[in-house]
Chains A and B, each alone.
Chain A
């Protein structure tokens, strides 16, 4: 029995080491060291910015092999916050996000291309308002290393532009929305 256990453990250890050295990270939403912001044009004269307050996610990352990385982010669209309650109520309604009908939004990476110089191209499926489309997030690794509390962290920023018309928004005139992700993960 003991021999079997040792054999099994050894097998797992070898399997794990040969598969990848990618570490698992959980996005630090507890400490709020991650942000999902958006930016929309107001009348073409200025920018309106806001953020999603509730989301979570996880990723794997190996500095030696960035293209083997993966990331998943789940967003609660009802947590939209543009610093104006009446506007947020309107954004949650059927005119825009229809959060009652589509309470979940998420991004799941399908392919990551290492562009060198800390730049990554993150291709993945983005679900919003019940519609899933493939998008590309231009990401930059900000840094990684030990934190002062015996942990290990890695952080990235990513930007992408979506058009709400592609996601069947009733008020499609809003047009392009820039999404900006600041993701800090704690290694597990």
Chain B
């Protein structure tokens, strides 16, 4: 079952969800660590190179994810209370916005001087030039705050999933992890 149904996530949605989760956490950890690398560290050039390349891949995956969200049915929210439903919806929208903001701001840092971003030496994603003054600084601050915002949202996301699993004892978490028997 590749596509979603009205009460289950399909394989594609699940894969995209978990790959995004893994990439977001890894990119955050690498980003947090690499900004303090010393100039003479062997990682000084390599870490940002992969951070940018995987960031671009995540951006492509996120664009696909948003398209897929509209192309396939969305399983109903399990939560019964309308407050919970509203918070879940707001939380998910915030995550999508924060993800787009962090990837766009990252692109704007590296391309502020007209240089493109190398994607594994296969292709160079071109720059759009300097769109605003002090672009690398402004985008840098946005990128940093977006990163911490995403981490806070992810903690909320995980807490909510665990609450559904252990307190409400519903299948909110398991329908994202298990393949349903049909």
- Asked whether A182 is an interface residue with its Cβ less than 8 Å from the other chain, the reply is no
Question: Which residues of chain A in 66-87 are interfacial with respect to chain B, using CB atoms and an 8 Å cutoff?
Answer: 83-86
> Given A89-B136, A89-B140, A92-B137: A84 and B39 within 8 A (CB)?
no
- Asked whether B168 is an interface residue with its Cβ less than 8 Å from the other chain, the reply is no
Contact mask A175-186 → B, CB, 8 Å, 1/0?
000000000000
- Asked whether A110 is an interface residue with its Cβ less than 8 Å from the other chain, the reply is no
- Asked whether B112 is an interface residue with its Cβ less than 8 Å from the other chain, the reply is yes
CA distance A173 to B39 in the complex (A): 10
B135 touches A85 (CB 8 A): yes
CA distance A92 to B109 in the complex (A): 14
Number of contacting residues on A, CB 8 A? 9
- Asked whether A171 is an interface residue with its Cβ less than 8 Å from the other chain, the reply is yes
A88 touches B39 (CB 8 A): no
Which residue on B lies nearest to A92, using beta carbons?
A: B137
B39 touches A89 (CB 8 A): no
B39 touches A85 (CB 8 A): no
A89 touches B113 (CB 8 A): no
Partner of A89, one of B40, B109, B115: B109
How far apart are A48's CB and chain B's nearest CB, in angstroms? 12
Contacts of A85 in B (CB 8 A): 109-110, 112-113, 115, 130, 135-136
Partner of B113, one of A84, A92, A171, A173: A84
How far apart are A113's CB and chain B's nearest CB, in angstroms? 38
A86 touches B39 (CB 8 A): no
CA distance A173 to B137 in the complex (A): 24
Contacts of A86 in B (CB 8 A): 109-110, 112-113, 136
How far apart are B73's CB and chain A's nearest CB, in angstroms? 43
Contacts of B109 in A (CB 8 A): 85-86, 89
Contact mask A16-27 → B, CB, 8 Å, 1/0?
000000000000
Contact mask A82-119 → B, CB, 8 Å, 1/0?
01111011001000000000000000000000000000
Contacts of B39 in A (CB 8 A): 171, 173
> Given A171-B39, A173-B39: A83 and B113 within 8 A (CB)?
yes
25 A–B contacts from the bound complex (CB under 8 Å): A83-B113, A84-B113, A84-B115, A85-B109, A85-B110, A85-B112, A85-B113, A85-B115, A85-B130, A85-B135, A85-B136, A86-B109, A86-B110, A86-B112, A86-B113, A86-B136, A88-B136, A89-B109, A89-B136, A89-B137, A89-B140, A92-B137, A171-B39, A173-B39, A173-B40
Residues of B with Cβ closer than 8 Å to A? 39-40, 109-110, 112-113, 115, 130, 135-137, 140
